[in-house]
A and B are shown apart, each in its own frame.
Chain A
Amino acid sequence: MIESFTAEAVKLGKRPAVWTVVGAWVVLSLVFGYVFPYANAETGSGGTGSDGPDPTAGDLAGALPAELVPTAIGGYPMFAGALALIVGVLAVGGEYGWDTMKALLTMGPRRESVMAGKLAALVALLLPVVLLAFGADASASLLVAAFTDNPAQWPPADEVLTGVGAAWLMVSMWALAGAFLATLVRGTALAVGLGVVWALAVENLLRLFGSSLEAVEAVQSYLPGTTAGSLAASLGVEPGSTPGVTDAVDGGTAILVLVGYVVVFAGASILLVRRRDVA
C-alpha cells in the first residue's frame, strides 16, 4: 500500500487539473468570505438610514481574524465539498479514462492495496489544501483588519485546529464520495455530473421539500451535505447564513455520520475494484 500511496501522491501532486480545482476553491473562499464583505462594508451597500445599526458591520465582523474559523469553514459543506468531490472523481476517473487502471492492477500489488493507497493519498492531499485555504483566509482577514483599522485578534489555537480538522473531514468525505462515483461508473464525466448535482441541488431540494414527509425529513438529516452543514454549524457558522449550513444534527452526531460515510465510500470503492472485471 505504501508504494501505491507514494505513486498516487506523485500523480495528484503533478496533475494540473487538481491544482486548478484547488485554486478555484481558494479563490471562492476569499471572494465570498472576505472580498464581498469588505466591499460591502466599504461601499455601505446595506443602505439603511444613519440612525439604525450598520447592517454591513456583521459582514465585516465575519471577515476579521477573530471569526476565521466560522468564515473559513462556512463554504465547506457545499462549495468546497463539491470541488473536493471533483478532485476525488479526477483521482479515480482518470485511471479509467486513460486506461491506466489495468496497468496498475497488473504491476504486482493487490487490487485492495492499489485502491487503498490511492484513497489514502487523496485524503492526505486534502490536508495541505485545507491548510492552504485556511492560510489564505487568515491572510485575507489580516488585510481586512488592517484596512478597516480593526484589531487583529486571532481565535484560540485549539479552535483553529478543530476548524481545520472539521474542514478536512468534510472534504475527505466529499472526495471519497467522488472517488466512489468514479469507480462505480468507471469514468469521470458522469461521476462529476452525478456528484455535483447531488451536492449542489438534490440535497437542497430534499431539505426544502423533505419537511412535508416525515420519513424523508428523518433521512435527509443524515445525508452527506446536511451532516457536513451540521458540523459547520456546530463550530459557529450561523445556520442559513451560508448555503448548506444547517443545524439538522448536533456536532458529535455529525462527526460520527461523516466518519461513517468516509468508511462506506472508501470500502465500497475498494470492494468494487476488487470484485469487478477490468474491461
Chain B
Amino acid sequence: MTKPVVETADLTKRYSRRTAVDAVGMRIREGEIYGFLGPNGAGKTTTLRMLLGLVRPSAGTARVLGAAPGDPGTLARVGMLVEGPAFYPYLSGRDNLRVFARYARAPASRIDEVLKTVDLSDRADDRAARYSLGMKQRLGVAAALLNDPELLVLDEPTNGLDPAGTADMRDLIRDLGAGGRTVLLSSHLLGDVQQVCDRVGVIARGRLVREGTVRELRGGGSLRVVAAESEDARAVAERLYGPDRVSAREGALHLAVDAAEAPRLSRELVRADVDLHAIGWHERSLEETFFEMTASADGAER
C-alpha cells in the first residue's frame, strides 16, 4: 500500500463555541491528486491551515510527510497556495519569487524554471499589481513550486478565473501531479475535482463525510425509468426487485439493479399497462452525490 503523505485523526478546530473542523480523519497517498471538496465555509481552509502549521488544532493529530504540521524540515518539502495568491504588489513577479526563494532557500535558477512552468516568463518583470487574476494565481503557484515540493497544497486555485483560465489551471495541476508529486487540491468546484483528482474527500459542516475515488463516490449507476403512471410503475418495480432498491427523484424512478434488467422491466411495465416514456442506464454525476452527501450532513447537524 502506498504510504500516506498526509494523515489526520480526529483533527478538530474550535473557535469559541463554533467548531470549524470536526474530527476529520483523512489520508492522502503519495503521488495522488487528492481533491478536498466542500461548500464555502465547510472547513476546508481551516483544515489546510492546520496541515501547514499556521493554525494549531484544538484536538486530534496530523502528520504531514511523516512529521508534525509546521515542522520546518517538512515545510521545506511542501508548497502551498492557501486562500489565494499572496505577493508584494510593488515588486515584479520575478522579484516576488526572488524574495520567496530566499525564504525557501531555493536556488536562483529555480525562478526561471517555475516562471516557465506557469507560463509567466514573458510578464515576469511587470509589477505584480498589474497582473490579471489568472496571472496572480499562476504567480502564486510558481511561488509554491520554488522548493520543488513533494506535497503541493492548492486552495481554490481556480477561484475567480474565466473558463479559459480555469481550463489552463486544471491542465497545470494535472501536469504538476504527473511526476509523482502529491497534490492536495481544495475546491468547492466539482468540475475541478472531477476532472483532475484521483481521490476525493468531501467535507461538510466541518466533517469529512466521504473519502474515495470519484467513481466510488458516484457509486454504481441506476436504471432510470420515466413513465406516465409513475405510481403504477413504482409498484411494478417494487414487486420485481423489492422496495429497498427503488427510489424516486427528479420525476423519474431509479432502480438499483443491473443494466441488463432493462428489457425485462420494460416488458413488465407494458404488461401492467404503464405508458413507458424512457428507460435507460443512468450514472450519477459527482454533483448529485455531492449534494446528497452535504445535504445529509446538514440534516444530521439539525
Interface residues, chain A, with chain B CB atoms under 8 Å away = 3-4, 6-7, 10-11, 14-17, 94, 98-100, 102-110, 114, 277-279
Partner of A103, one of B56, B90, B143: B143
In the complex, the answer to whether B54 meets A278 with C-beta atoms within 8 Å is yes
Partner of B52, one of A6, A14, A106, A114: A106
Tell me the minimal C-beta distance from A92 to chain B in angstroms.
13
In the complex, the answer to whether B84 meets A105 with C-beta atoms within 8 Å is no
List A contacts of B53 (CB < 8 A).
Answer: 105-106
In the complex, the answer to whether B88 meets A106 with C-beta atoms within 8 Å is no
Instruction: Check B82 for interface membership: any CB of A closer than 8 A.
Output: yes
List A contacts of B86 (CB < 8 A).
Answer: 98-100, 102-103
Instruction: Check B98 for interface membership: any CB of A closer than 8 A.
Output: yes
Interface residues, chain B, with chain A CB atoms under 8 Å away = 49, 52-56, 72, 75-76, 78, 80, 82-84, 86-91, 95, 98-100, 102-105, 143, 147
In the complex, the answer to whether A7 meets B102 with C-beta atoms within 8 Å is yes
In the complex, the answer to whether B54 meets A106 with C-beta atoms within 8 Å is yes
Q: Write the chain A residue with the least CB distance to B143.
A: A103
In the complex, the answer to whether A6 meets B102 with C-beta atoms within 8 Å is yes
Q: Write the chain A residue with the least CB distance to B80.
A: A106
With A107-B75, A108-B72 known as contacts, the answer to whether A99 contacts B102 (CB < 8 A) is no
In the complex, the answer to whether B54 meets A3 with C-beta atoms within 8 Å is no
List A contacts of B99 (CB < 8 A).
Answer: 7, 10-11
Q: Write the chain A residue with the least CB distance to B75.
A: A108
Tell me the minimal C-beta distance from B119 to chain A in angstroms.
21
In the complex, the answer to whether A277 meets B90 with C-beta atoms within 8 Å is no
Tell me the minimal C-beta distance from A230 to chain B in angstroms.
38
Partner of A277, one of B54, B72, B75, B91: B54
- Secondary structure of the B side of the interface? loop
In the complex, the answer to whether A104 meets B103 with C-beta atoms within 8 Å is yes
Q: Write the chain A residue with the least CB distance to B99.
A: A7
Tell me the minimal C-beta distance from B5 to chain A in angstroms.
16
Q: What's the Cα separation between A109 and B78 when bound, in Å?
A: 12
Q: Write the chain A residue with the least CB distance to B76.
A: A108
List B contacts of A15 (CB < 8 A).
Answer: 88, 90
In the complex, the answer to whether A107 meets B82 with C-beta atoms within 8 Å is no
Tell me the minimal C-beta distance from A194 to chain B in angstroms.
24
Q: Write the chain B residue with the least CB distance to A15.
A: B90
List A contacts of B80 (CB < 8 A).
Answer: 103, 106
In the complex, the answer to whether B104 meets A108 with C-beta atoms within 8 Å is yes
List A contacts of B54 (CB < 8 A).
Answer: 102, 105-106, 277-279
Q: What's the Cα separation between A94 and B91 when bound, in Å?
A: 13
With A11-B91, A108-B75 known as contacts, the answer to whether A99 contacts B83 (CB < 8 A) is yes
List B contacts of A7 (CB < 8 A).
Answer: 99-100, 102-103
List B contacts of A110 (CB < 8 A).
Answer: 72
Q: What's the Cα separation between A107 and B100 when bound, in Å?
A: 8
Tell me the minimal C-beta distance from B135 to chain A in angstroms.
16
Partner of A108, one of B49, B55, B105: B105
A-B contact pairs, 15 of them (CB 8 A): A4-B102, A4-B103, A7-B99, A10-B102, A11-B88, A14-B95, A16-B90, A98-B88, A99-B86, A106-B75, A107-B76, A108-B103, A114-B103, A277-B56, A278-B55
In the complex, the answer to whether B102 meets A3 with C-beta atoms within 8 Å is yes
Q: Write the chain B residue with the least CB distance to A279.
A: B55
Q: What's the Cα separation between A114 and B70 when bound, in Å?
A: 14
In the complex, the answer to whether A3 meets B90 with C-beta atoms within 8 Å is no
List B contacts of A114 (CB < 8 A).
Answer: 103
Q: Write the chain B residue with the least CB distance to A7.
A: B102
List A contacts of B52 (CB < 8 A).
Answer: 102, 106
With A10-B98, A108-B75 known as contacts, the answer to whether A3 contacts B55 (CB < 8 A) is no
List B contacts of A105 (CB < 8 A).
Answer: 53-54
In the complex, the answer to whether A109 meets B84 with C-beta atoms within 8 Å is no
List B contacts of A108 (CB < 8 A).
Answer: 72, 75-76, 103-105, 147
Q: What's the Cα separation between A277 and B50 when bound, in Å?
A: 9
Q: What's the Cα separation between A7 and B91 when bound, in Å?
A: 12
List B contacts of A278 (CB < 8 A).
Answer: 49, 54-55
Q: What's the Cα separation between A278 and B56 when bound, in Å?
A: 9
In the complex, the answer to whether B95 meets A109 with C-beta atoms within 8 Å is no
